Structure 1
């Protein structure tokens, strides 16, 4: 493949070879997110709809290159998982029905995408964070 072809392929599938954790408990939203990320070449871990299952994935040492976290999973807040991802320097963003004002100061630098989700904008944000290697 020519270098132009390689660049074009990377632009179409910028997450090829990257593993993205999806924590979302609403089936249709989780399915939409999974399809969007797969179209960008990502290997999706999940979607996971329970905090305990997500904690098991993190404890297992699963390689995670990026993550999308719904703030409220079955009436439990996802912040302990977000803290763990931050500790590991894994870029992530929040999806939620809440607005950013509800976040504690420790997460003010994390992008928030309100539902209904703008999947292309959310994906661009995640791709940008993963390519830069940070959360903001």
Structure 2
């Protein structure tokens, strides 16, 4: 059953593997549900910078959803690693655009709380239309 409020088609992210980096359990579950409903395969969720970096080495995603603050620790190293690996990502944060890590100003930002359909739309926007 689709996540309430999700207006994207069930297959909008079909075949895409998305890493979820989020330390808040409830938010992580909601993100995971929305991505699954949109057809994505979810990697994670992972709750720390170290877990995220290890996951990138072990299981390269097609994209990622990245919280900027993981239990009081900046996830900038994860943003840097994603960019270096050529993995597009969306930042989900309560800090807004002002909290973006240096060098990642062009990354799409979703201000918490956000609608699941905004998340899937932002992820779909990471790839060229074809």
Q: Same fold (TM over 0.5)?
A: yes
TM-score range, shorter chain: 0.7 to 0.9
In the other structure, the counterpart of 1:132 is: 128
Summarize deviations over 1:83-124 as a string: whole Å, max 9, x none. 111112111010111020232441110111111122211210
Match for residue 98 of structure 1 among 92, 95, 102: 95
Query: Is 1:39 equivalent to 2:37 in the alignment?
Result: yes
Structure 1 residue runs of 4+, over 6 Å off?
Answer: none
Question: Compared with structure 1, are the counterparts of its residues 114 and 41 closer, same or farther at alpha carbon in structure 2 (3 Å cutoff)?
Answer: same
In the other structure, the counterpart of 2:52 is: 54
In the other structure, the counterpart of 1:69 is: 66
In the other structure, the counterpart of 2:110 is: 113
TM-score if structure 1 supplies the norm length?
0.82
Match for residue 24 of structure 2 among 9, 23, 26: 26
Q: CA RMSD in A?
A: 1.5
CA contact (8 A) 2:68 2:100 kept: no
Structure with larger Rg: 1
Give the length in aligned residue pairs. Answer: 121
> For 2:61, what is the secondary structure of its paired residue?
coil
> For 2:77, what is the secondary structure of its paired residue?
helix
Match for residue 78 of structure 1 among 53, 75, 78: 75
TM-score if structure 2 supplies the norm length?
0.86
